[in-house]
């Protein structure tokens, strides 16, 4: 019979008794405090000093926690706690409290990430409803002074589908704030209505379309989905039939490609319009003069829009404000742009541009953290850079500097060896002179600045 424990719980089970006091992320067990919270100011170092093995585990655990690797940090602390002797129970109590606090912090961080995503979605819906109201108010004002004011307002509300707009807003709020199992939101609208709920589209990593806070199940026709992704990336969200046929069916005869295009668009329309539009040729996708486009009257927001807005705001800021904007932008970058289309020519340049923007922000964040002595945070952003491009020699240099500034000389030297090996294997080149000089300076303990910003040769 297989174990039902998570990897973290299983690791702690193998460690021993210390693990039984923990409730790691994802665990349903509760922390059981067996000791009173110690007063750190009353700690007496001479009352049973820990062994060098315990101290090493504590240092490794602390390093992991500072890098926000909480699971690994807790495991190291648990291993250290197991090796304590009876007269070191004060230290054991300190570790128990620290591990409990680490778990609470991790849980709070996860809740904050979810709340940020929800906020972005409801903000898009709010802006969409404000835009609709802005279009309706001038109509009311024009009719206000006529003899048939009441009739005009009633007719305006009918034409703009004001009642349905309010119902949509209420449904949106209920959907966003409701907890538990998501419910399908369906609003039935007049065929002639031009007012449709806004769309929020995720393009980083996995493509997804959301409406009123709920994901839309797109058509099973892969070409239909590809057409939507293509339109989302184009200026004004439009493309001619000829371009779409060339992109999707370059080898087919025009007549065959045209038929496939009609089938794909029809399937896509049905999935987007379901429950909102009955008219076959209308709704979210329009076609006029052999040009397909996303309905310009429907507000559309994407995670790419927000990503670039935060980036531009960060460029115009400095210090902690810049860090806040860049961090929010980087949090939106959950993976490559349109991963479903990694091998298509039309998405390549846009993906490359967005990745470069992401790396620019990661570099800026890493440099800022190095300059302000926040080395663990710097290493997080350097790691993000190397995840995208393990051959980025500048990132390897930054990581060497971060290690050296913390006094972790051996790790800095090992990082140089790793850099040299990767460059030789991937590119067939040696490290740049600047990297070699940095390595020699660290090797010889030459002028290692405390802020980690640079290392100069004598």
What are the residue ranges spanned by the domains of the chain? 7-36+50-111, 124-174+189-298, 302-443
Superfamily of 302-443 according to CATH: Tetratricopeptide repeat domain (1.25.40.10)
Topology (CATH) of 124-174+189-298: Arc Repressor Mutant, subunit A (1.10.10)
pLDDT, one tens digit for every residue, the chain (458 residues): 444 444 444 444 444 444 434 444 443 333 333 333 344 334 444 446 678 888 888 888 888 778 777 777 788 888 888 888 888 888 888 888 887 887 777 677 767 766 766 776 676 667 666 766 665 566 555 544 444 433 443 444 344 444 443 343 333 333 333 333 333 333 334 333 457 899 999 999 999 999 999 999 999 999 999 999 999 999 899 999 999 999 999 999 999 999 999 999 999 999 999 888 766 667 999 999 999 999 999 999 999 999 999 999 999 998 999 999 999 999 999 999 999 998 899 999 999 999 999 999 999 999 999 999 999 999 999 999 999 999 999 999 999 999 999 999 999 999 999 999 999 999 999 999 999 999 999 998 876 554 444 444 43
Rounded Cα distance, 303 and 124, in Å: 10
């Amino acid at each position: 019979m297989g174990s039902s424990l998570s990897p973290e719980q299983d690791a702690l089970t193998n460690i021993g008794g210390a693990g039984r006091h923990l409730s790691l992320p994802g665990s349903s067990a509760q922390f059981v405090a067996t000791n009173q919270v110690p007063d750190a100011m009353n700690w007496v170092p001479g009352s049973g000093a820990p062994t060098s093995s315990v101290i090493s585990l504590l240092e490794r655990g602390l390093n992991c926690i500072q890098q926000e690797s909480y699971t690994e940090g807790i495991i190291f602390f648990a291993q250290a706690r197991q090796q304590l002797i009876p007269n070191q129970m004060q230290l054991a109590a300190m570790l128990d409290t620290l591990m409990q606090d680490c778990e609470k912090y991790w849980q709070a961080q996860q809740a904050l990430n979810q709340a940020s995503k929800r906020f972005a979605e409801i903000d898009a819906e709010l802006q969409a409803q404000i835009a609709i109201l802005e279009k309706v108010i001038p109509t009311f004002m024009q009719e206000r002074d006529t003899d048939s004011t009441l009739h005009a307002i009633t007719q305006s509300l009918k034409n703009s589908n004001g009642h349905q707009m309010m119902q949509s807003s209420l449904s949106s709020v209920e959907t966003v704030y409701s907890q538990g199992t998501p419910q399908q939101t369906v609003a039935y609208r007049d065929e002639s209505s031009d007012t449709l709920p806004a769309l929020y589209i995720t393009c980083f990593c996995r493509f997804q379309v959301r409406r009123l806070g709920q994901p839309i199940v797109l058509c099973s026709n892969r070409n239909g989905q590809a057409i939507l992704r293509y339109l989302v990336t184009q200026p004004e969200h439009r493309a001619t039939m000829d371009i779409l046929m060339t992109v999707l069916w370059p080898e087919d005869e025009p007549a065959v490609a045209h038929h496939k295009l009609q089938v794909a668009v029809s399937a896509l329309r049905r999935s987007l319009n379901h429950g909102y539009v009955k008219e076959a040729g209308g709704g979210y996708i329009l076609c006029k003069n052999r040009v397909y486009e996303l309905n310009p009257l429907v507000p559309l927001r994407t995670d790419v829009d927000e990503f670039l807005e935060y980036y531009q705001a960060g460029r115009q800021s400095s210090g902690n404000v810049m860090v806040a904007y860049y961090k929010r932008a980087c949090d939106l970058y959950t993976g490559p742009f349109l991963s479903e289309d990694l091998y298509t020519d039309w998405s390549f340049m846009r993906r490359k541009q967005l990745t470069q923007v992401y790396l620019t922000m990661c570099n800026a964040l890493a440099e800022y953290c190095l300059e302000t002595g926040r080395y663990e945070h710097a290493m997080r952003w350097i790691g993000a850079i190397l995840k995208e491009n393990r051959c980025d020699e500048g990132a390897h240099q930054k990581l060497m500097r971060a290690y050296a500034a913390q006094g972790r000389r051996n790790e800095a030297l090992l990082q140089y060896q790793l850099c040299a090996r990767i460059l030789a294997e991937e590119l067939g080149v040696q490290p740049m002179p600047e990297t070699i000089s940095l390595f020699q300076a660290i090797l010889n303990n030459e002028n290692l600045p405390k802020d980690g910003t640079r290392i100069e040769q004598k």
